[in-house]
Structure formats: structure tokens, C-alpha cells
Amino acid sequence: MAEGTVVVFGGDGFCGWPTSLHLSRAGYDVVIVDNFSRRRIEAELSASSLTPIRSLDERLATWKALTGRTIDFRQLDASTDFDAIRDVLSEFRPLACVHFAEQRAAPYSMKSAACKRYTVNNNLNATNNILAAIVEVDRNIQCVHLGTMGVYGYGALGGVVPEGYFNIKVPLPNGTYVDREILYPPDPGSIYHMTKTQDALFFQFYAKNDKLKITDLHQGIVWGTQTPETVLDESLINRFDYDGDYGTVLNRFLMQAAVGYPLTVHGTGGQTRAFIHIRDTVNCVRRAIESPPEAGDRVRIINQMTETHRIRDLAALVQKLTGADVENIPNPRNEAEENELTVSNPNFQALGVSATTLEHGLLEEITAIARLYRDRADFSKIPCASYWTPERARIAREHFDKIAAE
């Protein structure tokens, strides 16, 4: 059994909850820190998880009853409550902090000026506060952060995306060149993704200045919902977001197929993205904790993804599996119509996670969950109503007005 304490910031969320259970089952003493902002935004958008998630109190009590293991909880806002973060770290003296505590939906981050400002304030301050608290309490506490493949951007350029770092030659005035290794040039596609590119600079600074041990997991789109721990009891069920802001593409398509809603392919569906199953997410986080970088090492960056897929191919796959209709709708996002994506990830492979790839059994399992809870679906929340620019909104309005008039 593993030993030591891990503080999971954002441990009530979609990735954080199953990770907390996985770490607890592995033997770690887990402390969840969360401010329930995701549950607050759910209420603000009137868009609940398709699965009926229980209160954190009930989740933790069920886990204790089933396994005998206690998971502690502290409610605090990581973006504002610096003293409280420091107190949690001083009280529990963890070996690691896992940092999930950010506003993670690109469409929500692009909804309004208020959402842009909230996402920037929340994400950047949470990251800086956690790192500054580690410096004050104990620089041996490692930080494992959930970042995103989206820091690299999804332009039409092609080429192989390296694992974080990029070699360049800097021209000198005397005509010679000096070799430098830099972060791969960031190219965020939303305010949310932009916060992740800025998080990366915090990590570079704290690793250099304070010798913090930091791992940044550049994760692809997470699909699936359940893990071996969350299936143990309905009270432990994980969230399943399907709404136009928080639902991610593959889970949305599977849910849409289950409730008889045409699959919402943006534009031509030509975007290619990286994917990972939630079961692999939790495994990777544990393995990252168990193989920390040394103090003084550069930030370890891991491209946490197992496969890439083009969106229209995913829609075709789900259509073949379920018979669902596919509808191409004007893309609400400012993104390339088509992009190629080839990812290099030797650091991920070195973690030794046996990848869960997209196969029919798992897709059917998710569709079955979506069917089970289809009565909870609110169809009015399915369309993405967040537009990257007024021009995108106008094109969509004209498209839907035309359909309504026909």
C-alpha cells in the first residue's frame, strides 16, 4: 500500500473526484480541497450533470462505509484564500498537491466579459497561491497540475507536437547561433486555454527560483465517466456533463445518441483532438506522484493522451454504433476548419499506463449510462450558446433562422 498524504485541489470535480478515490484506494491519505464553484456554475447555467451526483458529504460517507477509508475535506477558494491553503498544507504535510482547481470549460470562458475575467482571476490566482503556499510551508511538497494539450494550439500547421519543450537556435549579432530550449510556442484557442499557457510560466518560474518539484500534465479531452471506484455505489457516481458549455465532444455525442438528439458537429468536424479515458487519467496522476522530478529539475511536462481523432470520424463512429443522425452546425468557435495533430509523448509512455483506447465496449458502456439517466436530460441545454465572436454568433443565428423558416 502507498503511504503519505495527497491534497487534491478540485477534488469534487469530474477528474478530481475519481482521482481522489483512486489515490485513497491505493493507500494514500487524501484531503480534498474544493470551493464547489463547479456546482455553483451548474446552478447558474441551470445545466446539471446527467448523472445524479451526490453532495460531497454523502460521497465521502459512502466511501468510508464501503472501504473504511477516510477522505478529509476542506472548503476553501484556492484563488482567494491563501492563508487557508497554507494552513491545510501545514496541518497535513502532504507529499504532493494535485491541482485540478480551475474553471475548465472553453465555451464558458468565452461567454461574456464576466466569464473571461472570472476564468482568468480564478485559474491564475489559484495556481500562484498553491505554488506560493508550497514555498512557505515545505518546498519538498511536489505539485502535479492538470494542464491541457490545448496549450500547443490546434492550428492547421501540422508537425509533431513535442512534450512541452522545443529546441531553437537564437541568432547572435556576430552571425553565430546559440541553442536554446524553450516552451513550445503557446497558441491558446480560448481564454480558458490561455490561462493554462500562463500557468506554464508560473511553473517555470517556481521550478527555477524555488526548486519546486512540478509536473504539468498536458491532458487531452477526457471521455468516459466511471472508474473502478466510482461504480462501487450510486452515491459515488461521477459527473457527466453534456451541456453546450461543459460537455466535451465525445461524451456529448454519446449522450446525444442515447437521447435521440442529432450529433452536433461544429463546422466540417475537421478538428483533430487528443483523447484520454478517465480511468487512464486517474492512473497517470498516481504514477506522476510516484515518480516525482528532483528539486532543481526543469518542470516535467507529460502529454497525457492516448490517441487522436478527427471530430467527424468520432461522429461517424457513434452514428455507426447507435444509428444517430449527424448535424453539421456553424462552428461557434474561432478555430481552423481542419487540423492535423501528431503528438510525441515518451514521458507519458514511461509512466507505463496501459492505454484504454476507444473501443466499442466502452462506448456502449457510456451510452448505457446516458440511457439510464436520459430522463434527467434538458434538451434546451444541449446546443452550444457561447460564441467566440459576434460574427460567429451572427452566422449561427442566420443558419438557425433559415432552418426555422423552412
Q: Is 335 in the site for ligand NAD (CB under 6 A)?
A: no
Among 248, 306, 322, 386, indicate the residue that binds ligand USQ (CB under 6 A): 248
Q: How far is the CB of 133 from ligand NAD (least distance, A)?
A: 13
Helix or strand or coil: residue 398? Answer: helix
Contact by Cβ (8 Å): 69, 2: no
**Cα 256 to Cα 263: distance, rounded to the nearest angstrom:** 6
Residue 85 φ then ψ, to 5° = -65, -45
Grid cell, residue 338, equals 481542419
Considering only 165-173, 174-182, 258-266, 395-403, which stretch makes contact with ligand USQ by CB under 6 A? 258-266
Neighbour count for residue 100 (Cβ, 10 Å): 26
Q: Which residues contact 235 (CB under 8 A, 6 or more apart)?
A: 54, 58, 59, 62
Contact by Cβ (8 Å): 233, 53: no
From 196, 213, 225, 230, active-site residue: 196
The yes-or-no answer on residue 148 being catalytic is yes
Q: Is 259 in the site for ligand USQ (CB under 6 A)?
A: no
Q: How far is the CB of 391 from ligand NAD (least distance, A)?
A: 27
Q: How far is the CB of 12 from ligand NAD (least distance, A)?
A: 4
Residue 98 φ then ψ, to 5° = -105, 130
Which lies closer to ligand NAD via its Cβ, residue 146 or residue 314? 146
Considering only 63-71, 131-139, 277-285, 327-335, which stretch makes contact with ligand USQ by CB under 6 A? 327-335
Q: How far is the CB of 34 from ligand USQ (least distance, A)?
A: 16
Q: How would DSSP label each residue in 261-280?
A: --EEEETTSB-EEEEEEHHH
Kindly list the distances between the CA atom of residue 147 and the CA atoms of 136, 371, 392, in Å, as whole numbers in the listed order: 24, 31, 27
Which lies closer to ligand NAD via its Cβ, residue 303 or residue 396? 303
Q: Which of 49, 43, 4, 42 is closest to 26 using CA atoms?
A: 4
The yes-or-no answer on residue 196 being catalytic is yes
The yes-or-no answer on residue 118 being catalytic is no
Per-position x/- string for 210-249, each x denoting binding to ligand NAD as judged by CB under 6 A, each - no binding? ---------x-xx-------------------------x-
Q: Is 132 in the site for ligand USQ (CB under 6 A)?
A: no
Q: Is 284 in the site for ligand USQ (CB under 6 A)?
A: no
Instruction: Summarize as ranges the residues that interact with ligand NAD (CB under 6 A).
Output: 10, 12-16, 34-38, 77-79, 100-102, 104, 122, 126, 146, 148, 219, 221-222, 248
